[in-house]
Amino acid sequence: MDINPDFSHTLQQQIDDLPHAQKERLAFIDFSLQYFGHISRTELIARFRTGLAAATRDFAQYRAIAPDNLVLIHQTKSYYRKSEFTSVFVHEPQQILTALSQGFGNGIASGTLGTLASEQCFDAVRLIHPDAEIIAALMRAIHQGSVMNCQYVSVASGEGERDLVPHSLINNGHRWHVRAYDRMHQAFRDFVCTRFTYIAETDEPVNPHERSVADTQFNEFVTLQLVPHPSLSSSLAVEMDYAMVDGKVDIHVRACVAAYVLRQWQVDCSKGARFSGQGCQLALANLAILQTIENVAIAPGAGK
């Protein structure tokens, strides 16, 4: 967990010297004050299964670090966020919103999420859920650097047997896939995690050209320069959505996922940005980059 760089080096060192478990509890106090405005000792105890004495020490430690962040209201037995509050820990927006949408922010410091859905913050509906056993088998093969024999269902050819050398799991914004060397096609390809019906580890040796270091599209990064679609009567809203500077934003991504990013965000990749009135709010300014990425056919308007 990262500490707010605005704090002094001495204070940062003081926090770093604390036991990891206590830092997690302090980060939870910090998070609760920032995003809910209050926290009590009973909430801290319920979250981390600690005793009353330990919770009291945690609040005392937090007050020693940031005395201007909270005040105890004895009538409610809760600590409340003060107006001069300065967050002790850095809470990343993506992690925060995910945590808020899935519960009270349980384990925000460690990345684990709560089990109860929020009634105030809602995430996107997810239709595709990979099987836990399949994910486990893929991760073991990746971690051990082994060849796996599997049954995979392809849209084009149906179910068939394959020997794959996987090296990474990637969320393309729509679903999870595994990046792997496919011995049948002798190339690195993407395989959707929900389409595996069987996976078995093997003792076969992995060749140098099958390892991740040989996956050019995975190791190469490209820059996608996005601009508001020229068909928009006013571009300011879109510029604010994507934190554009001077009417553009540069996105740096791995070449193997670039086409997925363009599809997910409906970026018009046609010459002259001709997809007006079709839901495209963005256009790709540097069209030449399309010649360097794979799966380019899935990018809206590519080649048109």
- DSSP result, 188-227: EEEEEGGGEEEEEE--PPPPGGGSGGG-HHHH-EEEEEEE
* pLDDT band of 109, cuts 50, 70, 90: very low
Distances (CA, A) of 220 to 180, 213, 298: 16, 10, 19
Q: What is the DSSP string of 111-153?
A: T---SSPPSS--PPP------HHHHHHHHHHHHHT--EEEEEE
* pLDDT band of 304, cuts 50, 70, 90: confident
Q: What is the mean pLDDT of residues 190-194?
A: 96
- pLDDT for the residue 275: 81
Q: Where are the domains of the chain?
A: 9-102, 132-214, 220-298
- CA dist., res. 272 & res. 285, Å (int): 9
Please check whether residue 88 is in contact with residue 7, taking contact to mean a CB–CB distance below 8 angstroms: yes
Distances (CA, A) of 186 to 56, 139, 165, 205, 215: 61, 22, 11, 15, 12
* pLDDT band of 260, cuts 50, 70, 90: very high
- What is the overall mean pLDDT for the chain? 89
Q: What is the mean pLDDT of residues 29-35?
A: 90
- pLDDT for the residue 9: 73
- CA dist., res. 18 & res. 25, Å (int): 11
**To which residue do tokens 């553009």 refer?**
248
- pLDDT for the residue 107: 40
- pLDDT for the residue 1: 63
Comparison of pLDDT for 23 and 123, the residue scoring more: 23
Please check whether residue 169 is in contact with residue 180, taking contact to mean a CB–CB distance below 8 angstroms: no
- pLDDT for the residue 206: 97
- pLDDT for the residue 118: 59
* pLDDT band of 92, cuts 50, 70, 90: confident
- Distance from the first to the final alpha carbon of the chain: 46
Does an H or E element contain 180, and which? strand 176-182
* pLDDT band of 119, cuts 50, 70, 90: low
- pLDDT for the residue 105: 46
Whether 195 has a pLDDT exceeding 50, the answer reads: yes
Fold classified for 9-102: Arc Repressor Mutant, subunit A (1.10.10)
Whether 254 has a pLDDT exceeding 90, the answer reads: yes
Whether 108 has a pLDDT exceeding 70, the answer reads: no
Please check whether residue 238 is in contact with residue 279, taking contact to mean a CB–CB distance below 8 angstroms: no
Whether 277 has a pLDDT exceeding 90, the answer reads: no
3 pairs with which residues across the strands? 89
DSSP state of 69: S
Architecture of domain 132-214: Roll (2.30)
How confident is the model over 123-176, as pLDDT tens digits? 777 788 899 899 999 999 999 999 999 999 999 999 999 999 999 999 988 899
- pLDDT for the residue 4: 75
* pLDDT band of 202, cuts 50, 70, 90: very high
Whether 225 has a pLDDT exceeding 80, the answer reads: yes
Q: Are strands 267-268 and 282-284 parallel, antiparallel or unpaired?
A: parallel
Quick one: what percent of the chain has pLDDT higher than 70? 92
Please check whether residue 238 is in contact with residue 184, taking contact to mean a CB–CB distance below 8 angstroms: no
- Residue 240 CB partners (closer than 8 Å, separation 6+): none
Q: What is the DSSP string of 235-269?
A: -HHHHHHTT-BTTBEEEEEEHHHHHHHHHHTTEE-
Whether 228 has a pLDDT exceeding 70, the answer reads: yes
- pLDDT for the residue 111: 38
